[in-house]
Structures are given as structure tokens and as C-alpha cells.
Chain A
Amino acid sequence: MNLGAAPKDAGEHAELLEFDMDMDGFASNWAYCDRLSTYFARMISHNRSDSLLYSNLFSSALNELLETVYRLHAPSGRFVCSVARRGASERITLTVPVDAQTADFYRSAVSVLNDGDLASRYHTALFTDGPLQPNIGLLELAVDYAARFSIEPADGNAIRLIADLKLEETEA
């Protein structure tokens, strides 16, 4: 695993932190989702106006993304998670190895996220019995954290899923 600050510039975003590891390593232990999201949240929140509140929100949001990737990815390849900042907003970029089926999932999930009436889709998904829909985390981010998603192809058989979040305005 390679975990460290990467001070390079991502366009107008300043990159804060990047992590990469083999997908099969990441997907070998569910607890990585929690640990990574909590670690990232702590590292990036200290200079937000309320570090504890920010880190709670960020950890929740990132964890849902990581859980989604944990469940849906191609078996091998490199998984990269990076966080960059521009002013009040944070950009999470996940590079996920995919096969045809999982690529399809991410593409159609993101196109749904750009449709209207997400809140009712999200709430229906939350309260339906049986297993949870695999896109629940993405829906939650779009609805409760006003995340804006985009997706692009990445080198190898991979996609880059990008989520832009602005968490600080939720503070009273």
C-alpha cells in the first residue's frame, strides 16, 4: 500500500492525499473501507472550520464510495483514491479497475445521478426490504451531500469516478 500526501496540482484543485493499492488487497478486508475513510477524513479536516464535524461528514461520504467500490470492481488492477481541494469543496477521485459489467454499472449509475427526482429514488431504496441496491451510496452522496458526479475512462481497464462535495455549508 502506498499512502501519503501528494503535493501535485490537479488542475485548479490542490491535491491533498492519495492512496493506491492492488484491488485484490483492498477487497480482501471490509474494514479497509472504514479505516481508509476515517484516516482520510482526519488528515484533511484539521484546517476546516469545525474539524470534527467536517471529518464526520467526510468520513461518511467517502466510506459509502469505498463500500461501493469494494463490492463492484474487476478482480485485479490498481485502485487509487485521491482527494483534492478547491476552496470550500473537496474532489474525491476513485480510479477503479472494471470489467464490462462493472463498467456498465458505474456508467448507468452516474447517468441516473444526473436525472431528476433523486431524493425519492434514494428514499425508496433506503426503505425497500431485501438487499440494498448497489448504487445506494452514490444516491446518498448526491442527495444528502449534494455531490456532483462524473465518470471518465482511465488507463488500462479502469474508470475514474469523480465526486465533488462541499460539506462546510451544512454547518449552522
Chain B
Amino acid sequence: MIADTLVQTYKVSFDENNQELALSGSMRPEHGAEMEACIQLLERSIASIRGTFYINVKRLVRLNNVAFHALAGALLKAADERPDVRISIVTSSVIGWSTKKFGTLSAKNPRIAVEEYDSEFYPGQSFLEEGGFVPVLRTQTKLTWKHERSILPRHGLTPGATMADICCGIGDFAVLVAKEFAPSRIVALDHSKSSLAYARQVASEFDIGGIEYIYGDAAEMLLEDGQFDFVSCRHALQIFNKPEMIVDELVRICKPGGRVYVTNEKISQCLGEPRGPSIQWTYEQLSKLFADFDMDLEFGPKSYQALQKAGLEDIRIESFMVTNRDGDAQAFADMVMAWEEMFAGGMCEKRGDDAAFVEKFRRGFEDHIAAALHPGGYAGWPVWVASGRKPQ
């Protein structure tokens, strides 16, 4: 009976190609003997490999001393018997206890290494997470909210819902949703510690309680299945080289019958007049620049298919255009100014662009700013919204 429930609480699998044994879930057996099947798989796997044997415990959320004792015994024995093998245990800082706990094994045998997996695994995105990005996100969310507050109900957000905002950045969207829709629970997750620190500070300064800011990797969340009525993920699939991994996770944590909501851009479609051609050239280049860093800022219209492939039903898609005519031309101009700094500054330098390119590239942003502030000008930034329902 107990063994039965235990079987359901954790998973162990071996992937030969990666020489990786993955343990996940909750391992809290009463007796060491209950670990038998897992230990046998460990022994068989290690017998079949050469070089480095990986043990992935990134999603092993709970482990009692009974289970650890059994695993540790088997690992130390294996390390003794196979001096040709290096054992690498990959933990996650999100779990809290695991790096320290498995770290005790390295002290016993230095051929057992423990590596903590973290945001360094997505080096391409690092500029989007440093301090400089904060003002950009603030202004963007201020501008998109004018549209989204009336769009959200069409995509199934209702007052009192339980919701999660994944890749929440500095958390402004969560705050706005909390005020407007009074969800019964709101979890906001990101893997940028500086953004979360900022979000928590904002929430405490403005005395907005009830938003749970959580550090974690959107592609491998530790949130449980089927918890939320509404799961949003804004402007983030487009900066991830494997967006389908995140979509699957969004679907997983959504309740059956709940909805997954994503927004993305197609940046090459930014526009403005006067000086349309210069603006258009720059945004086409911007799209290529992101592509060179493995990010797809053209993702917006692709989101329909992404949700469809993830098995969602009743998919709805629409787009809106943030413009200088929405009521705050200066904010629009500020946003483009910040883009210019980030992209023509930091990112071009990183790609190694020459001065002539950067100058022409900057000109398009400046023309876009001028269009936004021009008495007769028009400047736009289109955004695609898509959502789908998780089948019952």
C-alpha cells in the first residue's frame, strides 16, 4: 500500500544517449528497501556507461534521509568500483536543500561532482535580465495594459481566478491584474533574481500583498500540475530558443478547462510615419539581430500554431497596435529610446557590428521616436495575443 503510493510520488528514468539518470518528484520512503528498484536501475545504468554519468535531480523536490542514505550508499559504491567514471549530479537552486545535501558526496569522493543548474544556462538572454532592462519593461507594460485590460476577459480571465504569470519580469503585469481582476491567487515566476527583487520591492512599497514571486526556470517549473485557471506568459516565448518547452509547462500547470495566454511580437512590423522606410529597415535588422542570439522576435503570429501543437482547444488569436496615439506619445518615445540603447548599444557591440551599421541602425530608432513625437506623426508597435483552453 505504502509502496504503491510511493511509486506514484517519484519517477526514475535513464536516458542512454545522455548517460543521464533522472530522478524527480518526492522520495520519502519508510524503509530503505523501498528504494530497491531505483537503486537497481542506478546500478544497471552506471554499468552501461563510459566517461561521465549524469544524475539529474533538478526536479527531485523531496527526499528524506532514508532515501538519501540508500542513494548515497549506491553512489559511493559505484564510484569505488568504477574509478574510470566521473559522476556528475545536477541540482537546481530552486529546490533549496539539494546542492548542500548532495554536496556531502563530493566530500566523500571527489569523483562525484555536484553542479547547480541556474540561469547561466541561457547565456544569450543575459542582457534582457540586467538592471538596464527594468525601465523598458515598465514602459512596455504601461503601454500594453491600455489594450490588454479589455482584451484579457475575451481570453477567459475572470475575477477571482487563480492565475500564474510565467516569466513575469519585474512583475508590473501581475500588479495590474491584481488590481483590476482581483484573482484569488497570483503566482509570478521568473529566473532573473534582480527582476524578482525589484518586483518584491515594488509590491511592498505599494503595499500590494498576495502576489507570490517565485524564482524558477519556466522550462522546468516545480509548480504542481493543474493548479491555475489562467496562465499567462508575456513577451517571453519569443526570447527562448525552445518555446515549445515553455508552452508545455504552461499547459501542465493550467487546470483542465483553464486557459493559457501568451503575448508576443513580430518586431519587423513596427512602423511609423514620417520616415517609414528608415524605420522599417531598422526593425527588420532588429529581428535579425535577435535571431543571431537565437531569439525569435517574429514569434507573434506563430503563437497560434504553438498553442495548437501543445494540444490546446478553442484557440483565440488577435493583435493590437500600441501607438503614440493611445494617449501617451512620450511614453512611446521613451520605450523606443530604451530599445535603441539596449539593442544598438549592448547587443550590436556584442555581435561585433561596425560603426556604420550601428549609426544607420540607430537612425531608424530615432526616426521612430521623431514619428511618435511629431504633431502629425504616427508610430506603432504591434503585439499578438493568443490563448487556448486545456482539454478536460
Asked if A172 is at the interface (CB within 8 A of a chain B CB), the reply is yes
In the complex the two chains form, is A53's CB within 8 Å of B215's CB? Answer: yes
Q: Give residues of chain A (136-172) contacting chain B, Cβ–Cβ below 8 Å.
A: 136-137, 140, 144, 167, 170-172
Chain A positions within 8 Å of B26 at CB level = 34
* Shortest Cβ gap from B239 to chain A (Å): 23
- Find B97's partner among A60, A123, A129, A172 (CB 8 Å cutoff): A60
- Find A56's partner among B30, B65, B97, B213 (CB 8 Å cutoff): B97
Nearest chain B residue, comparing its CB with the CB of A46: B212
Asked if A112 is at the interface (CB within 8 A of a chain B CB), the reply is no
Asked if B95 is at the interface (CB within 8 A of a chain A CB), the reply is yes
In the complex the two chains form, is A50's CB within 8 Å of B69's CB? Answer: no
Asked if B93 is at the interface (CB within 8 A of a chain A CB), the reply is yes
In the complex the two chains form, is B96's CB within 8 Å of A56's CB? Answer: yes
In the complex the two chains form, is B93's CB within 8 Å of A67's CB? Answer: no
When chains A and B are docked, how far (Å) is the Cα of A30 from the Cα of B30?
A: 7
In the complex the two chains form, is B96's CB within 8 Å of A53's CB? Answer: yes
In the complex the two chains form, is B28's CB within 8 Å of A33's CB? Answer: yes
- Find A49's partner among B94, B200, B223 (CB 8 Å cutoff): B200
Nearest chain B residue, comparing its CB with the CB of A30: B30
- Find A132's partner among B69, B101, B212, B222 (CB 8 Å cutoff): B69
Asked if B5 is at the interface (CB within 8 A of a chain A CB), the reply is yes
Chain B positions within 8 Å of A89 at CB level = none
Nearest chain A residue, comparing its CB with the CB of B61: A56
In the complex the two chains form, is A64's CB within 8 Å of B65's CB? Answer: yes
* Shortest Cβ gap from A121 to chain B (Å): 13
Q: Give residues of chain A (12-71) contacting chain B, Cβ–Cβ below 8 Å.
A: 29-31, 33-34, 38, 46-47, 49-54, 56-57, 59-60, 63-64, 67
In the complex the two chains form, is A52's CB within 8 Å of B97's CB? Answer: no
Q: Give residues of chain A (72-90) contacting chain B, Cβ–Cβ below 8 Å.
A: none
When chains A and B are docked, how far (Å) is the Cα of A136 from the Cα of B65?
A: 7
Q: Give residues of chain B (204-221) contacting chain A, Cβ–Cβ below 8 Å.
A: 209, 212-216
Asked if A5 is at the interface (CB within 8 A of a chain B CB), the reply is no
- Find B28's partner among A53, A63, A140 (CB 8 Å cutoff): A63
When chains A and B are docked, how far (Å) is the Cα of A140 from the Cα of B104?
A: 12
Chain B positions within 8 Å of A129 at CB level = 73
| Residue of B5, B62, B196 with most partner-chain A CB within 10 A | B62
Enumerate chain A interface residues (CB-CB to B < 8 A): 29-31, 33-34, 38, 46-47, 49-54, 56-57, 59-60, 63-64, 67, 123, 126-127, 129, 131-132, 136-137, 140, 144, 167, 170-172
